[in-house]
Amino acid sequence: MECSVKICRDCKIEKPIDDFEKNQVGKDNRVIRRPVCKECRSVKVKINPKQKKEYDLVKIKIGEHFECPICGDSFIRKFKNDVVLDHSHFDGSVRGFVCGNCNTGLGRFKDNVDTLKRAIEWLNK
């Protein structure tokens, strides 16, 4: 059963669950909603459609080998979301294909280089 409210990861405001887009379907057909509300998500710059079209021609297909340029994991692609086309939420430019885990990590750090530098410093303690 879904909660009736959720707190947006970006604006930190508690909002009705319908203010968050459905993202995936989890175990037992449970609907998983995006962590960012529709309003905050609407201000993020979408992927450049012309560049996306170019990358669609070289898409890594299910069953093909992939090595992530960030983490170095090497695997055979099995799922739709295990390899994703990463892009800047500031200008929409495509950076290339990365594994789903690295893409999520970049998103959680909000594509912020200073935050990532602090994370590296933290890990180096």
Query: Looking at the structure, do residues 72 and 118 belong to the same domain, yes or no?
Result: yes
Q: For residue 6, is pLDDT > 80?
A: yes
Query: Looking at the structure, do residues 37 and 62 belong to the same domain, yes or no?
Result: no
User: How many residues appear in the chain?
Assistant: 125
Average pLDDT for residues 80-99, to the nearest whole number?
Answer: 91
Query: Looking at the structure, do residues 24 and 49 belong to the same domain, yes or no?
Result: no
Q: Domain containing 33 — which CATH number? A: 3.30.60.130
Question: For residue range 43-69, what is the model confidence (pLDDT) as tens digits?
Answer: 888 888 888 888 887 888 999 999 999
Element (H, E) at 122: helix 113-123
- Predicted local confidence at residue 3, as pLDDT: 64
* Domain around 62: 45-125
Total domain count, the chain: 2
pTM of the model: 0.74
Q: Residue 26 phi/psi, 5° resolution?
A: -95, -160
Q: For residue 7, what pLDDT band results from cuts at 50, 70 and 90?
A: very high
Question: Strand, coil or helix: what is 7?
Answer: strand
Query: Looking at the structure, do residues 49 and 110 belong to the same domain, yes or no?
Result: yes
Q: Domain containing 99 — which CATH number? A: 3.40.1800.10
Rg value, the chain, Cα: 16
